[in-house]
A and B are shown apart, each in its own frame.
Chain A
Amino acid sequence: MDLEYGERYEAFRKEVRAFLEASKPEEPLAWKDRLAWLSLQIEHGYWARTIPKEYGGYGAEPDLLETVIMDEEFNRAGVARGMMAQGPSMLVPTLLAHGTEEQKRRWIGPTLRGDVMWCQGYSEPGAGSDLASLQTSATEDGDDFVINGQKIWTSTADKSQMIFVLVRTEPDAKKHAGISYILAPMDTPGIEVQPLRTMTGSLGENSFNQVFFSDVRVPKANVVGKRGEGWKIANTTLKHERSSLNANAEGTWLRLKRLMEKETANGVPALASPVYRDRLMRLQARALTMKHHGMRMLTCSLKNESPGVAGLVVKLQNCQLSFDMAALAIDVMGELGVLYEHSKYERELGFWQAYSMFSLGLIIGGGTAQIQKNIISERGLGLPREPKPAKA
């Protein structure tokens, strides 16, 4: 057990802190200023730090503790580091691992600088948990593929210039072997975006959409990796998605505690109610548990060791914890806890109701809780897969 980061890293922390003190912009930022702020972060190596220079990054060696320190310091300063979007978090790692030289040079830099926004075309109405059964087809025609089909749960499709999409290019191959990973501009004729309103209403943090493809022509050169290897390539990306679902449970708990200190009923703060207080303490234990579990996972990564089953449970536990924290916040506000959409008397701009529903979305998205439990029991505990039903 050694919880110190060491001298070199503490010096790095000071650097980051000094940079933030000198350069942190005032929120909210106009889009143009946000892009300038991203570029400034790249220039100093606090965003795109380990992306090679020739692709528009800062070109440092990967160092997990530096990443942790940057995240801690940006959190502390209350500003986002880089950009939480599917381009930087999912497409860029995929291109670095599987893209051609030309693809990397063309897309990585603009994606990191926020000049090009991406959305992800994976799920389909008929292919959710069983993603590999996807049916959107891409038929060869000269130098192009012609795409037909429908995608769903496409976050930010309405704001994106590009989509990375899974399509079936080899209709006769087995289901996992017939899929390719392809890049398409969203303004290609034949692509239609329809917003999908979710339960979070106007306060939702994500804009979900359905994307329809009708005879959409995309050059074959836009395939990432080899034809028919899209499943394997997408799995690299999904891994990035799961690891990015790392909730800041302690921060949310502190916010909940502050709410309970000031929210009163009959002149008494919620914290003075033994019933609510017990629930708050129960959640603190869970938040501390996940915080220290995160430190254990970080140590495994630093040592290049697999955390085994201990790593498989993180998403399941964190998402449920977020949902349960929101539930207590809503409960302590009593009849005012249900106010929403900027109603009079609404607390914290409706944050807790939105967070509750958003957390429910996270319990389902990125692999439902039930799929997580299958994975935990099969890969983590060695229980057998459920046998396939006999064909009738």
Chain B
Amino acid sequence: MDFGLSEDQLLLEETVRGFLADQVPITRVRELRDEEYPNDRALWQDLAELGVAGILVPEEHGGSALTLLDAALVSQSLGHAVTPAPFLASAVMAPVALRTLGGEETGAWLGAIAGGEAVFGVALTETFSIREGAGVALDGGVLRGKAMMALDALGADHILVAIGDDRLAMIRGDASGLQTNRLTTIDATRCTSELALDGVEPEAVFDGAADAISRMLDAGRIALAADSLGACESMIEQAVAYAQERKQFDRVIGSFQAVKHMCSEMIAELEPARSLLWYAAHSFDALPDEAPLMACHALAHTAEIGREIASVSTQVHGGIGWTDEQNLHFWFKRIGVARHLLGGPEFLRERAAELQGLALAS
């Protein structure tokens, strides 16, 4: 019985965090937010050399074949540093799909993921939420329609697109007939876009892909929860540090019980949520039957505590926390957007009820 992280996992986390602190400080994040493509390719190449891009890719395709818990720790570190990187789509969701689909043709893509030379986006939103009349159909061998809030698709080399809820297509990022329009959100560190497809010829179409889509969503939700948890962790660290240095009424504000209790309430939510996340990530590989439920709960729960932590940690800073210069908003916005990707909390909880046969008709 050992419910915790291994030495290797702690080392992985330390390595990634050390790299990010060194190479992508918040000053660099500020520069990247003004770029057309926030997912900086040179940075992604460096992360690939650390083994981040191929973390879930099988060894025969050049990856390190680690578990989703390892990937979650990397995701958490990226959230902690608010790093713009296509980790969620390219290093988690796409390789999980390709691994699940299997077959000869997926091998080359997995190899390209691990090497970091190709970046993959994913467009799955319409499998759980259709707005603005979106949806992609296969019609005479070509794809038509619209996909909303595609992840990491802008500037990607390949994009996995859902057709309905049981087929997947792989398309080239530069395919003719494809328009990728950035959808600007509050969070400049995560790249979301709309795909407009007008007669796009797919590289491959995978029928009977419901299982692959479901595994992608589970893995994506767990990784996204980890990202938010890392961002929450950083916001609490910043709030506690600020409370120890900022003086008012001749005392550091962290000596006031009102401020102390704000900090205690945040950490009291964060630490148990870390345990939930570890279990959810562990279940993905070791207890796959439990993974769909755990993924829903992990992301929904993190979204709920995340909203509170993002708000309260900003309040600890007072007015300065609300300025652009203080940088805190990068974390606030990262958490705010993650809440609504891959299903918001209310949707995820209803899904959790369905999975347990509890969603009775009213």
* Contacts of A2-33 to chain B: CB distance below 8 A: 2-6, 9
CB-defined contacts of A9 to chain B, threshold 8 Å:
1
Among residues of B, the one whose C-beta sits closest to the C-beta of A321 is: B272
Are B1's CB and A2's CB within 8 A?
Answer: yes
* Contacts of B260-283 to chain A: CB distance below 8 A: 260-261, 263-265, 267-269, 271-276, 278-279, 282
> Nearest Cβ in chain A — how far from B305, in angstroms?
9
User: How many angstroms from the CA of A104 to the CA of B89 in the assembled complex?
Assistant: 63
CB-defined contacts of B362 to chain A, threshold 8 Å:
268, 272-274
> Nearest Cβ in chain B — how far from A143, in angstroms?
46
> Nearest Cβ in chain B — how far from A257, in angstroms?
7
Given contacts A373-B261, A377-B260, contact A277 B3 (CB under 8 A): no
CB-defined contacts of B2 to chain A, threshold 8 Å:
1-2, 299, 302
B267 touches which one: A274, A285, A370, A381 (CB < 8 A)?
A381
A271 touches which one: B6, B240, B360 (CB < 8 A)?
B360
Q: B1-21 toward A: CB 8 Å interface, digit per residue (1/0)?
A: 111111000000000000000
Are B244's CB and A1's CB within 8 A?
Answer: no
Given contacts A1-B282, A285-B301, A383-B260, contact A309 B271 (CB under 8 A): yes
CB-defined contacts of B267 to chain A, threshold 8 Å:
309, 313, 376, 380-381
Given contacts A292-B3, A309-B267, A386-B257, contact A272 B273 (CB under 8 A): no
CB-defined contacts of B251 to chain A, threshold 8 Å:
387
Q: B320-362 toward A: CB 8 Å interface, digit per residue (1/0)?
A: 0000000000000000000000000010011011000011111
CB-defined contacts of B254 to chain A, threshold 8 Å:
377, 383-384
**Number of contact residues on B: which range applies?**
35 or more
**A191 in contact (CB, < 8 A):** no
CB-defined contacts of B301 to chain A, threshold 8 Å:
285-286, 289
User: How many angstroms from the CA of A268 to the CA of B2 in the assembled complex?
Assistant: 44
In the complex, number of A-B residue pairs with CB atoms less than 8 Å apart: 163
Q: A279-302 toward B: CB 8 Å interface, digit per residue (1/0)?
A: 011101110111011011011101
* Contacts of A60-87 to chain B: CB distance below 8 A: 65
CB-defined contacts of B69 to chain A, threshold 8 Å:
1
> Nearest Cβ in chain A — how far from B153, in angstroms?
30
Are A281's CB and B353's CB within 8 A?
Answer: yes
**B255 in contact (CB, < 8 A):** yes
CB-defined contacts of B297 to chain A, threshold 8 Å:
281, 284-285, 288
User: How many angstroms from the CA of A266 to the CA of B352 in the assembled complex?
Assistant: 25
> Nearest Cβ in chain A — how far from B291, in angstroms?
13
Given contacts A376-B267, A381-B263, contact A293 B360 (CB under 8 A): no
CB-defined contacts of A313 to chain B, threshold 8 Å:
264, 267-268, 271-272
User: How many angstroms from the CA of A317 to the CA of B274 in the assembled complex?
Assistant: 14
Interface of A is mostly: helix
Are B263's CB and A1's CB within 8 A?
Answer: no
Are B243's CB and A278's CB within 8 A?
Answer: no
User: How many angstroms from the CA of A57 to the CA of B273 in the assembled complex?
Assistant: 39
Are B255's CB and A385's CB within 8 A?
Answer: yes
* Contacts of A339-384 to chain B: CB distance below 8 A: 370, 372-374, 376-378, 380-384
**A310 in contact (CB, < 8 A):** yes
CB-defined contacts of A380 to chain B, threshold 8 Å:
264, 267
**B204 in contact (CB, < 8 A):** no
User: How many angstroms from the CA of A197 to the CA of B275 in the assembled complex?
Assistant: 39
Given contacts A317-B268, A381-B263, contact A374 B360 (CB under 8 A): no
Are B286's CB and A278's CB within 8 A?
Answer: no
Are B1's CB and A302's CB within 8 A?
Answer: yes
**B119 in contact (CB, < 8 A):** no
**B171 in contact (CB, < 8 A):** no
> Nearest Cβ in chain A — how far from B283, in angstroms?
10
A290 touches which one: B272, B278, B350 (CB < 8 A)?
B272
B244 touches which one: A280, A296, A382 (CB < 8 A)?
A382
**A316 in contact (CB, < 8 A):** yes
Are A285's CB and B300's CB within 8 A?
Answer: yes
Are B1's CB and A4's CB within 8 A?
Answer: yes
**A269 in contact (CB, < 8 A):** yes
User: How many angstroms from the CA of A316 to the CA of B259 in the assembled complex?
Assistant: 17
> Nearest Cβ in chain A — how far from B155, in angstroms?
35
**B304 in contact (CB, < 8 A):** yes
> Nearest Cβ in chain B — how far from A256, in angstroms?
12
Are B264's CB and A6's CB within 8 A?
Answer: no
> Nearest Cβ in chain B — how far from A136, in angstroms?
28
Among residues of A, the one whose C-beta sits closest to the C-beta of B239 is: A381
Among residues of A, the one whose C-beta sits closest to the C-beta of B243 is: A383
Are B3's CB and A3's CB within 8 A?
Answer: yes
Most central of B264, B265, B286 by chain A CB within 10 Å: B264
Are A299's CB and B260's CB within 8 A?
Answer: no
Given contacts A6-B1, A278-B349, A288-B297, contact A377 B264 (CB under 8 A): yes
Are B268's CB and A299's CB within 8 A?
Answer: no
Are B264's CB and A376's CB within 8 A?
Answer: yes
Given contacts A378-B260, A381-B263, contact A277 B358 (CB under 8 A): yes
> Nearest Cβ in chain B — how far from A254, in angstroms?
11
CB-defined contacts of A257 to chain B, threshold 8 Å:
358
Are A284's CB and B352's CB within 8 A?
Answer: yes
Given contacts A271-B358, A278-B350, A381-B240, contact A387 B272 (CB under 8 A): no
Given contacts A1-B3, A313-B267, A387-B251, contact A296 B275 (CB under 8 A): yes
> Nearest Cβ in chain A — how far from B70, in angstroms?
10
> Nearest Cβ in chain A — how far from B163, in angstroms?
30
CB-defined contacts of B183 to chain A, threshold 8 Å:
none
CB-defined contacts of B352 to chain A, threshold 8 Å:
281, 284-285
> Nearest Cβ in chain A — how far from B311, in angstroms?
18
User: How many angstroms from the CA of A74 to the CA of B353 in the assembled complex?
Assistant: 29
B276 touches which one: A6, A293, A387 (CB < 8 A)?
A293
Are B244's CB and A383's CB within 8 A?
Answer: yes
CB-defined contacts of B4 to chain A, threshold 8 Å:
1, 296, 299-300
Can you show 23 pairs from A to B with CB atoms below 8 A apart? Answer: A1-B4, A1-B69, A1-B286, A3-B3, A271-B358, A274-B362, A280-B353, A281-B353, A285-B297, A286-B301, A288-B279, A288-B294, A296-B278, A302-B2, A314-B272, A317-B268, A374-B260, A374-B264, A378-B260, A380-B264, A382-B244, A383-B255, A386-B257
Top 9 A-B pairs ranked by shortest CB distance? Answer: A281-B349, A377-B260, A373-B264, A313-B268, A272-B360, A376-B264, A293-B275, A293-B272, A285-B301
